[in-house]
Amino acid sequence: MDAQVDLLTDKEIEDRLAELPGWSVTDGSLTRTYTFERHLPAAAMVIHVAQIQEELNHHSELTLGYNTLTVAVNTHSAGHAVTALDFTLAHRVEEIATGHGAS
Ligand SMILES: C[C@H](O)[C@H](O)[C@H]1CNC2=NC(N)=NC(=O)C2=N1
């Protein structure tokens, strides 16, 4: 049984989004689309994000395009609400993005 996940108020979500330029809550998920110079760097970042997701045991929907990678996450165990766990993942992804040539 997953531990009870604390829900966030709209204000808390807005405050946390202010710390994550480029991220938004879109269609119920915390979302960011990264753009790359070429396809393979985008594909390589998928593996790195997957490693982080396994470490956190928290998983997003990843959409790989020609030179884009979209990360979209909410918390399934909280009824697909956006929670602090989603922001934790977003910050971890942000930490690696520049190194992958993402913008
Ligand atoms: C059994 C496993 O721990 C749970 O299903 C984890 C896996 N990854 C998850 N990812 C997300 N986004 N939300 C969850 O509630 C979640 N739960």
Task: Quick: pLDDT tens for 80-90.
Answer: 999 999 999 99
Task: Quick: pLDDT tens for 35-92.
Answer: 999 999 999 999 999 999 999 999 999 999 999 999 999 999 999 999 999 999 999 9
Structure tokens given for 44:
């390589």
How many contiguous H segments (helices) and E segments (strands) does the chain have? 3, 4
Is the per-residue pLDDT at 3 higher than 80?
A: no
Q: Is residue 5 part of a domain?
A: no
Q: Is residue 3 part of a domain?
A: no
> Residue 46: which CATH number?
3.30.1360.20
Is the per-residue pLDDT at 14 higher than 90?
A: yes
Total-model pTM: 0.95
Q: Is residue 79 part of a domain?
A: yes
Q: How many domains are there within the chain?
A: 1
Q: Is residue 4 part of a domain?
A: no
What pLDDT score was predicted for residue 1? 46
Distance from chain centroid for Cα 29: 9
89 close to ligand 1 (CB < 6 Angstrom): no
Atom of ligand 1 nearest to the CA of 76: 15
What pLDDT score was predicted for residue 5? 77
Domain span holding position 31: 10-100
Query: Which residue's alpha carbon is nearest to atom 8 within ligand 1?
Result: 58
58 SS3 class: coil
Atom of ligand 1 nearest to the CA of 78: 15
Q: Cα of 76 to ligand 1 centre, how many Å?
A: 6
Tally of CB atoms within 10 A around 21: 8
